[in-house]
Amino acid sequence: MENSLEEIPLIANKIEPVPPPLSNQSTPTLSHRKCCTLSKNRPTLMGRSCSISQARESLDSLFDESYRADVEIHTDSDTIIYAHASILGIASPVFRSMFKKSRSKHQISINGVPPEAVRIFTRFLYSSCYEQAQMEEHVLSLLVLSHAFAVPQLKQECEYQLEHKLLNMENVVDVFQLAVLCDAPRLGIICQRFVLMSFKAASSSAGWKAMRSSHPHIEKKLLSSLKFEDHRQKEKLRKVNERKVYLELYEAMEALVHICRDGCRPTDEHNKVLKENQEPCRHEANKGLEPLLQHFCGCKLRVAGGCLHCKRMRQLLELHSRICADSDACRVPLCKKLKQRFMKENRKKKNNKDEMKWKILVRKVMRTKSITGAPYFTLASS
């Protein structure tokens, strides 16, 4: 057997031995085709013994030779495919229901798909095998047939092939339509994400124009899902940026406690005032917070409310006072005074909107670091 004629069994990463072909055999053997390759977590269709391969070859020959066939499948272009009702009925409950109506020779018409796709589909019902080149050419037709005749193994394989190998910009719109019509939700989601990444190219394709004329409700569903996905991505980005702001506020609160408790240790390499046992400050926020605090203590405009830097510093001090657990012993300026003021105002106006905004801000800042136990800010008095 040549190396190019390689059989891929259903069991992942395991190649099964193939018996030599029979003498004077004119029909293609099983080794010329690939068996349905499923992922490891899906049920396998091929056995491990050589006898199963021989049984598959026998079924394959039975289909090719049409020995005692009692079913005629009429396709487009007046092509007739001969098959056996017992095998089709076992593989498909739809066929079984059709054959119950009569016991004589059966005639079935399958139109709307290429005759070769019908032949590949029927052969799969016999041996559960296919050729990869044929799968790539007729995967959409095979997906429709497997859904219409309730053959879940082939349907799963078509979805797998489209998801991992065959999905591209030219067929993504057609695949999405079939995913909706053939009840393949996972494949539909993958197509939505594919279209979202290249919406301009997908919306100008011939498949999109055909979908607009044939299935406008599917186009509406796709646009709605794309709009929702775009909104979800924007909302996700907004929450990431919001969390970043809350994290910066929390680090500023830590740096404020560190400045007032220990004094800021310079981090500039040109400012050599460290003692022998001292280490550079680990708080990055100290670089901008310490000058701002010094300005707040000496500014003359803050009394009249005309300094923007002082307003910013006062907001940070008020945020700290609302977080601090022990304002009586805290060394941060105005901590106790500000806490007493907002508690007094809170008793007067229980439904104050500004107070509600402060409470929400404090809760989100504290959640950013997932603090457990006593807050870090109680160490300001130690």
**Is the Cβ–Cβ distance between 127 and 56 less than 8 Å?**
yes
pLDDT of 88-105, one tens digit each? 999 999 999 988 877 677
Crossing angle, helix 172-181 and helix 206-214, to 10 degrees?
30
**Residue 227 pLDDT > 60, yes or no?**
yes
**Residue 48 pLDDT > 70, yes or no?**
no
**Residue 112 pLDDT > 70, yes or no?**
yes
**Residue 247 pLDDT > 90, yes or no?**
no
Domains along the sequence of the chain with CATH: 55-138 (3.30.710.10), 241-264+284-368 (1.20.1020.10)
What pTM did the predictor assign? 0.57
Bridging pattern class, strands 71-74 and 129-130: unpaired
User: What are 81's strand-pairing partners?
Assistant: 73
pLDDT at residue 46 in the model: 41
Torsion of CA 106, 110, 115, 120, to 10 degrees: -80
pLDDT of 313-354, one tens digit each? 888 888 888 888 777 778 887 888 888 887 777 766 666 777
pLDDT at residue 380 in the model: 42
**Residue 266 pLDDT > 90, yes or no?**
no
Percentage of the chain beyond pLDDT 70 is 72
